[in-house]
Amino acid sequence: MSELKNLKQLHEAQDSILSLRCRLAGLQGKCLAIIQEQDSPLGLYHPKEVELAKEFESEIDQILNRNKLDQLLS
């Protein structure tokens, strides 16, 4: 019974990790949109917002990097 319980917990943890990775990928896409928008003649975002988006995008990229994730989980 305990093996079954452990397996269920493992699957729940894997589902949570996948869900978080998907949400992070969505945030990364939003950051990239802000970064790309800076070249637009409309200039919808302040340069500080673009700078923060670049920092966030870089941090998210490191988190989503599969090798880095494997290192963190080991």
Amino acid identity of residue 9, one-letter, is Q
d(CA 36, CA 47): 12
**Residue 42 pLDDT:** 74
Does pLDDT of 51 surpass 90? Answer: yes
Domain layout of the chain by residue ranges: 2-73
pTM for the whole thing? 0.71
Report, as an integer, the average pLDDT of 15-41: 87
Amino acid identity of residue 63, one-letter, is I
Q: Residue 45 phi/psi, 5° resolution?
A: -120, 140
What percentage of the chain exceeds 90 in pLDDT?
Answer: 27
Does pLDDT of 37 surpass 80? Answer: yes
